[in-house]
Amino acid sequence: MKLYLIQHGQAFPEERDPQRPLSTEGEAETKKMANFLRSKNIKLNCLWHSPKVRALQTAEIVSKSISSSEIRQRNDLNPLDPVDRLPQEIRSFNKDLMIVGHLPHLEKLASLLLSGSENCELIAFKNSGVVCLEYSDKWQICWMIIPDLI
């Protein structure tokens, strides 16, 4: 089972738009990442995203490029939401999954999965960047890619 964690694309500042949709650069970088994922034949069983506009837009861009059988908005993927219940739910799902979310939530989730503690800050997420984790008998990092490397 693979878990892809992606931080939403770069968004406009709150002063410009309180909804904080993707900026032009954020949209372009997310499209670049989505095209990269498609070129590597990444397939998903499901894509979860937070209710925030920037996460929804990122999820839509990615889902148009790669195959995902289901896209689901979740209200427990916001920046400050707790992560303690997600590991069991992700393991129970037991299929390839992508989560489009925010900091610090993604950092805490990745740390919890990899180390058992949400406070380790093991991964430096970047906007539109993807971290691929894989589970066999434990979670391990398979790879990470950011738009600047493509």
pLDDT in tens, 104-117: 999 999 999 999 99
What is the token pair recorded at 54? 């920037």
Q: Look at residue 8 in the predicted model and tell me its pLDDT.
A: 98
At residue 68 the predicted structure's pLDDT band, cuts being 50, 70 and 90, is low
Q: Look at residue 114 in the predicted model and tell me its pLDDT.
A: 98
Q: Look at residue 142 in the predicted model and tell me its pLDDT.
A: 96
List the one residue out of 84, 139, 129 whose CA is nearest residue 103: 129
pTM of full prediction above 0.75: yes
The CB-based long-range contact list for 85-90 (8 Å cut-off, 24+ gap) reads 86/112, 87/112, 87/113, 90/3
Map residue 89 onto helix, strand or coil.
Answer: helix
List the one residue out of 130, 147, 131 whose CA is nearest residue 29: 147
Measure the N-to-C terminal CA separation of the chain; round to a whole number of Å. 25
Domains of the chain: 2-149 (3.40.50.1240)
Q: Look at residue 123 in the predicted model and tell me its pLDDT.
A: 96
